[in-house]
């Protein structure tokens, strides 16, 4: 008989039915814990409770007309940090680049690039004194840093104010997430401060509004709609129990290389998925997105048509996003959970996520996240 670890969720002191995580690590739980079952945890109680370090995709060459700055920003958005640096250096912010946006309420280390004439010495950039920004290193490169040019992110996050009797269950749930992965949903920060960016994008694409004039804002709205539709497909696959199980016709993604291919053998590819070698993918709709076949394609077309009234609403906006595939399964590596000795109700969680993965998505598998500033 297999031993199991049970989640002893409680609401108002009442025990709820447990979910089980296989202690052998060979089978993921088929049903995921709901918010009613999960205890609440406070995160980002202080800025340094959320630390993220970007892992670069490549090393800068040391020569060229762009300057790569490795920065540590505190309690600033990426755009705010980039703006302050560009103004301090007297360069055009429109020529700046970064691999990914980092959370504001955090201590975040990342690389940005700025246009920088070859004849100009970078020494001044090394000595910048900017509130909320520390310059860790400076090096030249031939090209601007573009979105997506990173391997992933390394997180160190403190969860506080957990119910004492729930701490062991939270540890078990996080370790289960580390072994098997979790649904790779986009977090709420993807959809704007009020959460309505997908609706704004739909109104714009349908011709009900003119849409924003600023290209960056158009891309932001477009991306939010793509993300919302991915989440809807993922929710459908979760409801059918196939979010982590390949179906014939699925476009699968290799975990090591990122290569994609079509599933033609559910048994063989299912075994590979169970080992973490491949994952079914969902749609980031766009003109050049690769479509699946069979039932996966039917699900995606049905959800796209229900949301937009069309099976091809994106082709005329290909400059805002050509489309791609995103894994349904988010897998963390190097995950460790440490009890903070001085506090019986706090945990320090360390892990690495691939690019595009949300720390809140992983943590949300085990707890309901609550921020001190009132945001979920």
**What residues are labeled active site?**
103
Q: How far apart are CA 305 and CA 312, in angstroms?
A: 8
SS3 229: helix
Backbone angles phi, psi at 32, to 5 degrees: -95, 150
Q: Are 141 and 68 in contact (CB under 8 A)?
A: yes
- Residue 79 exposed, middle or buried by CB count within 10 Å (0-12, 13-18, 19+): middle
CA separation, residue 172 to residues 10, 49, 81, 82, 190 (Å): 16, 21, 37, 39, 28
Q: Are 137 and 59 in contact (CB under 8 A)?
A: no
Q: DSSP assignment of 142-204, as one string?
A: SS---TT-EEEEEEEEEEE---GGGHHHHHHHHHHHHHH-EE-PPPGGGG-TTS-HHHHHHHH
Q: What is the DSSP letter of 287?
A: T
Q: What is the DSSP letter of 98?
A: E
Query: 362 is written with which tokens?
Result: 């992983």
């Amino acid at each position: 008989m297999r031993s199991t670890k049970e989640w002893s969720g409680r609401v108002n002191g009442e025990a709820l039915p447990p979910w089980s995580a296989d202690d052998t690590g060979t089978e993921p739980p088929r049903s995921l814990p709901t918010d009613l079952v999960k205890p609440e945890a406070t995160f980002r109680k202080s800025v340094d409770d959320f630390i993220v370090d970007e892992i670069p995709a490549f090393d800068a060459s040391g020569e060229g007309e762009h300057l790569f700055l490795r920065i540590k920003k505190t309690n600033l958005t990426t755009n705010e940090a980039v703006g302050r640096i560009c103004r301090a250096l007297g360069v055009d912010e429109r020529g700046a680049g970064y691999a990914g946006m980092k959370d504001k309420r955090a201590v975040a280390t990342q690389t940005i690039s700025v246009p920088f004439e070859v004849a100009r010495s970078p020494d001044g950039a090394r000595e910048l004194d900017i509130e909320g920004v520390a310059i860790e290193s400076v090096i030249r490169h031939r090209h601007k840093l573009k979105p997506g040019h990173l391997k992933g992110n390394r997180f160190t996050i403190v969860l506080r104010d957990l119910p004492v009797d729930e701490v062991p269950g939270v540890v078990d749930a996080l370790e289960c997430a580390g072994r098997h992965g979790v649904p790779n949903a986009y977090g709420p920060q993807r959809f704007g401060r009020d959460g309505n960016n997908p609706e704004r994008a739909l109104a714009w694409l349908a011709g009900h509004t003119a849409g924003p004039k600023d290209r960056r804002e158009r891309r932001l709205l477009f991306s939010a709609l793509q993300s919302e539709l991915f989440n809807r497909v993922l929710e459908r696959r979760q409801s059918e129990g196939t979010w982590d199980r390949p179906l014939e016709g699925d476009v699968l993604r290799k975990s090591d290389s990122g290569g994609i291919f079509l599933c033609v053998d559910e048994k063989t590819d299912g075994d590979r998925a169970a080992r973490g070698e491949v994952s079914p993918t969902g749609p980031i709709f766009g003109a050049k997105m690769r479509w699946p076949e069979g039932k996966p394609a039917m699900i995606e077309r049905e959800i796209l048509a229900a949301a937009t009234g069309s099976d091809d609403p994106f082709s005329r906006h290909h400059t805002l996003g050509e489309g791609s595939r995103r894994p349904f399964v988010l897998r963390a590596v190097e995950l460790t959970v440490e009890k903070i000795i001085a506090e019986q109700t706090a945990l320090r969680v360390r892990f690495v996520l691939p690019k595009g993965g949300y720390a809140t998505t992983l943590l949300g598998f085990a707890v309901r996240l609550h921020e001190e500033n009132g945001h979920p």
